[in-house]
A and B are shown apart, each in its own frame.
Chain A
């Protein structure tokens, strides 16, 4: 039984990855870019699922990690000559990790809504700093830069075309998914889930709950920063809008729409949200958020487990 389940999982995983590898070869430029962005937003949503779905802490501050990843990558690409993709990744991750460590230290002392509000406030602090520190961050205009080549010295040196970038993003997102899945199934992940179910009892058993929470926030922030780096590479800019808390709100929306605590759900949620937005904005221009918000409210009320949980229940019946 268990073994059969594993086979089904890996087959499904391989099929989806194969489809996504083939995607840029058959899709037009517009939809290729669309799929790449779904993958990046999906990674951001997946990173926040570690907190929302597995540890039971709703973060409204993921835009800070995402944005700092973007600015970290921008810093590496603008200051180091020649621009290096791996250094951009490294800088972005370090920036996100530093912010995550700071946020984690303060916010994990609090629970429920207090945690949500603290993370929200923290992301706004970074937003204000980035927005007003024009000399370094470019202020409202943000920073623009060129895409670096995808290269390992002595092995290969590719120009990062959109298609190759898509494959690179796919590799990173698929890899992150496997790592996160492994983590959530590990003893560490089990402790996180037991914190979600009953924090007092977990503490009584003898786990250092605070330490687990800090690691969870940092882990989550690290992957959110990774998504930020990828987004910066895709769009070749870093802008303060992506640090604003509305991005965090959208991240939570992806999670809730797709189904929390599933890792795949948030990606499905991001795809659903972005597709719906694309479809609606064709004839509603910028007011697409009105029906989209209504759909979101309906999902919160009627399908608390999200699309994936809803489908699962429907399949079981």
Chain B
């Protein structure tokens, strides 16, 4: 059982890095749920498509920042289109119908990617090279950059929610859609915008994560499951809760993979979810319900 301190520290850093990406994925999901009660099953596929846009732009231009930007923009637009065509007619039919519709969307998107890009995983070179020595390991700087970039995107988004006009509209619509409408907020556009922003955030995390694991059409499946866990553990619709839960779950998984294989370590997050649902079904990181 004795685990050397250096391994523990390495896993802590690994956990925080994946945790930040997971937080970026989940914050889009939880935002969409919070404002329109839509559980977006296709979120993982948007991440996967974003990663592909990133790969293609990177291959064409060689510029990582351009890849990040173009993936965010394109997938944001795609998200808005998906929302307008399929989800808008369903918005008042309850969350279960939208789960079904987004499940269909995820099937379609995943197979479109399989058709267009093939099943073989694409390796992406780390856009920011260089390593630093962490105990006996050469730890890539890129992982640290990924964590910082994710934090920056989430932070920027938080500032936007807090101070931007649209951000205030989004918060108002989340609180009370009818009242927001009565106050003259263009609610249908706010909803479309939120879906676009959530999709863009998923795409950005796809671009960031691509170089770490390779890009393939099924990469969305693993992420959507973990994002679901995070969103429920953090409290559905709570942004801060999702971020805290993302880091908690990723850290626990990283520590667990000291003893078991990574494919088994995911059971730890399943257990966290079940324990949460049993004792605090509204989420660990939100105020207790009265």
Name the one of B94, B267, B277 contacting A109, with C-beta atoms under 8 angstroms: B277
The answer on a CB contact under 8 Å between B95 and A109 is no
Chain B residue contacts of A290, Cβ below 8 A: 108, 111-112, 115
Chain B residue contacts of A301, Cβ below 8 A: 86, 89-90, 101
B245 to chain A minimum Cβ distance, whole angstroms, is 14
Whether B104 is near chain A, meaning CB under 8 Å from some CB there, is: yes
Whether A293 is near chain B, meaning CB under 8 Å from some CB there, is: yes
Cα–Cα distance between A58 and B41 once the two chains are bound (Å):
14
Interface residues of A in 262-299 (CB under 8 A from B): 286-287, 289-290, 292-294, 296-297
Q: A120-B228, A297-B105, A300-B101 are in contact. Are A114 and B90 (CB under 8 A)?
A: no
The answer on a CB contact under 8 Å between B225 and A296 is no
Name the one of A106, A124, A131 contacting B277, with C-beta atoms under 8 angstroms: A106
B73 to chain A minimum Cβ distance, whole angstroms, is 24
The answer on a CB contact under 8 Å between B95 and A106 is no
Q: Mark B84-112, 1 if CB is under 8 A from A, else 0.
A: 00100110011111011101110110111
Chain A residue contacts of B95, Cβ below 8 A: 112-113
Q: Mark B251-267, 1 if CB is under 8 A from A, else 0.
A: 00000000001011011
**Would you call the interface of chain B mostly helix, strand, loop, or mixed?**
helix
Q: A289-B107, A297-B108 are in contact. Are A125 and B270 (CB under 8 A)?
A: yes
How many interface contacts (CB-CB < 8 Å) are there between A and B?
104
The answer on a CB contact under 8 Å between A116 and B96 is yes
The answer on a CB contact under 8 Å between B228 and A287 is no
- The 3 lowest CB-CB distance pairs between A and B, nearest first, are A293-B108, A293-B107, A297-B104
Q: A114-B277, A128-B267, A301-B90 are in contact. Are A121 and B229 (CB under 8 A)?
A: yes
Q: Interface size on B (CB < 8 Å)?
A: 37
Q: Mark A232-261, 1 if CB is under 8 A from B, else 0.
A: 000000000000010001001100100000
Chain A residue contacts of B90, Cβ below 8 A: 300-301
The answer on a CB contact under 8 Å between B105 and A293 is yes
Cα–Cα distance between A301 and B92 once the two chains are bound (Å):
12
Whether B281 is near chain A, meaning CB under 8 Å from some CB there, is: yes
Across the two chains, which residue of chain B brings its CB closest to A107? B277
Chain B residue contacts of A106, Cβ below 8 A: 274, 277-278
Chain A residue contacts of B31, Cβ below 8 A: none
A262 to chain B minimum Cβ distance, whole angstroms, is 17
Q: Mark A125-158, 1 if CB is under 8 A from B, else 0.
A: 1001101100000000000000000000000000
Interface centre among A60, A117, A286 (most CB of B within 10 A): A117
